Structure formats: structure tokens, C-alpha cells
Chains A and B, each alone.
Chain A
Amino acid sequence: MSTITSRSIRPVEEKPAATPRAGAPLTLRLLTGFTLLMVLAAAYMAFVYAPTEITMGAVQRIFYFHVGSAWAGALAFLVTAGAGIIYLISRNIAWDRVGHSAVEVGLALLTMTLLSGPVWAQYAWGKAWTWDPKLTSAAVMWLAYAAYLMLRQGLEDPSRRARFSSVYGIIAFASVIMTYFGVRFIAATIHPTVIGPSAGTAETDMGMTTAMVHAMLFSFLTFTFVFATAFWHRLRLANLTDFVNQRKTEALYE
């Protein structure tokens, strides 16, 4: 009778992933519909409800979705770091799927931020990109999480991949802290600081009207829902992918 119980040689997937359903659950379908309505409402707030900014004109309206997507991206990476910590404690592979899904959604959201920012900057600053500390730090953050996905591609063994990804996801969160909090206190930046103080040269008083603040806060809320919805869909895909891979492995050994 075998007495070997070491965690390191136990199969990683102790419980097979639940049989996936082809259709999304009703809650997810309702959430998806509600999120789409929120996006439409946020677009109305950004394009119609908020007044046109005096100096920059219409291009300033990029601001609302630019900061909303940046916030939701940071939230996604926070979920990854949290899932990484929980995985390392519990060794439950489901938390690896949570971390992986959050990174992918976070990267999509951060891509929105990094694409819309330079278009706005081209008009406001006269050039799309400067090697400003805030912008550079945001680019490093994007690259750090793109590297997370590449790292996973290079690791075959699921438990090794989960362990490495968890540790990497926790370490990579330093780039989020640096971008959103660190830069404003240690370096001079021309990028405005929307929330909180700045010890550098960043513009902190953006002179927003009440309607602008409403549109910004609504955008934050909307992108929180966008993240939650996309994350749930991505997590279902991760569960399905693992289930199919398990079945493929079983079919190979039958």
C-alpha cells in the first residue's frame, strides 16, 4: 500500500474541473447586458453630459475612458497578486486560473489606456510620447504583464507554471505601485495627477467642473463592471480550456 502523500508528486488537478456548460449562466448574461448599458451611459456622460474643456476642447473627453481603463487595469493586477498569494498558500490550481485571467483582462484594459493617452498627448503636448517617468513606468508595467503571459507559455508543467506565475504576479505588482503611487512622490512628471497629492511637478488641480467629476466617477464605476464581466468570461474560458486539456490527456493515455 502506498504511503506517499507528498504534495509535490500529487497530481496538480486533484479534482477534475467541473463539466462546462455551453451557455453562460443567467447571472453572467444579465451582468454582460448591464455592463453594456453602463458603457453606453458612460459614453453619454463623456460626450454629452460633461462640458467641453476650455483649453483643449473635445480631445479632453478622452480623459474619462483613459482614467477609467487605467483604474480597472490596476484592479485586475491587484486581483492577480492576491490570487498569487492565495495559490502559494493553498496550492489550489483554480487560483492560478484566476490570476492568469485577471492579467489578460488587465492587459487589454491597460492597452486602452496606453493607446488613448498618446492620441490625447499629441494634441495637448505636441508629441505622442515622452520618456516622462509616469509614461515610462506605465509602459514598463504593460511589458511586465505581457512577459507574464510569455512566461506561462514557456512552462509545460501546470504546478510549476502556477508557482512561477504566482510569484511573478506578486513581484510584477511593484510596477503598478510605482506607476500609480511611486512616480508622483519621487520624480518630476508632466502627466497630471487626477487623484491625491503629488510631490513632483504634476498638475493636480485639473479645474474639473462638477459635471466632469460626475462623468469621471461614473467611468470608474463602469470600468469596474467592464473588468468584472470580462474577467468572469475569461475565467469560464480558462476553466473550459483546462477541462478540454484534461480530456485530451486522458484520450491520449486510453
Chain B
Amino acid sequence: MFEWLTPPGVPDSVSHMLLGYAFIFGTGIAYAASLVFRRRSQLRDLVVLEEINKDN
């Protein structure tokens, strides 16, 4: 079914395995990236808030 994922001659079993691991690692990488981006966003907000406090 997923043979189009891999070069001709690669068994269907291998293409399924690769897709399964692509989902696993893809989810992990996406979640890790979301943690990094959300933390950076909060730190940026904190810098802005500190600037506002200084001005006040």
C-alpha cells in the first residue's frame, strides 16, 4: 500500500515500517519544536513587560 514511499524493489513491509517510524519521530519532533517556540514566545512577552515596567 505504501510502496510509493520507497524505491522500486523495496518490500511493502519495509515501506510500512518506515511510515510508522516517520509518524513516531514526526510527532516527537513537532512536539519538541512546539515547546521551544512557545517558550521563546513567552520570553519575548517577558522582555516587553519588563520594558513597560521600566517606562512606568
Q: Which A residues form the contact surface with B (CB < 8 A)?
A: 20, 22, 56-59, 61-62, 65-66, 69, 105, 108, 111-112, 115-116, 119-120, 122-123, 226, 230, 233-234, 236-237, 240-241, 243-244, 247-248, 251, 254
Given A237-B42, A251-B53: A112 in contact with B24 (beta carbons within 8 A): yes
User: For window 1-49 of chain B, which residues contact chain A by CB distance below 8 Å?
Assistant: 1-2, 11-14, 16-17, 19-21, 23-24, 27-28, 31-32, 35, 38-39, 42-43, 45-46, 49
Does A230 contact B16, Cβ atoms closer than 8 Å?
no
Cα distance, A233 to B39, chains bound together (Å): 9
For B24, give its contact among A20, A116, A123, A254 (CB under 8 Å). A116
How many chain B residues touch A (CB < 8 A): the figure is 28
Does A237 contact B38, Cβ atoms closer than 8 Å?
yes
The residue on A at minimum CB distance from B10 is A58
Does B31 contact A119, Cβ atoms closer than 8 Å?
no
Given A230-B31, A247-B49, A248-B45: A237 in contact with B39 (beta carbons within 8 A): yes
Smallest beta-carbon distance A253→chain B, Å: 12
Does B46 contact A244, Cβ atoms closer than 8 Å?
yes
Does B43 contact A65, Cβ atoms closer than 8 Å?
no
Does A58 contact B35, Cβ atoms closer than 8 Å?
no
Smallest beta-carbon distance B21→chain A, Å: 7
- Can you show 5 pairs from A to B with CB atoms below 8 A apart? A59-B20, A112-B23, A115-B27, A240-B42, A240-B43
The residue on B at minimum CB distance from A233 is B35
Smallest beta-carbon distance B15→chain A, Å: 9
Does B16 contact A108, Cβ atoms closer than 8 Å?
no
Contacts of A226 in B (CB 8 A): 28
Contacts of A254 in B (CB 8 A): 56
Contacts of B23 in A (CB 8 A): 112, 115-116, 119
Smallest beta-carbon distance B18→chain A, Å: 9
Cα distance, A116 to B18, chains bound together (Å): 10
Does A123 contact B35, Cβ atoms closer than 8 Å?
no
Does A58 contact B11, Cβ atoms closer than 8 Å?
yes
Q: 8 closest pairs, A vs B, by CB? A: A57-B13, A115-B23, A62-B20, A119-B20, A108-B31, A116-B20, A59-B16, A123-B16
Given A57-B11, A69-B24: A119 in contact with B16 (beta carbons within 8 A): yes
The residue on B at minimum CB distance from A128 is B1
Contacts of A20 in B (CB 8 A): 43, 46
Smallest beta-carbon distance A48→chain B, Å: 13
Contacts of B28 in A (CB 8 A): 108, 112, 226
The residue on B at minimum CB distance from A240 is B42
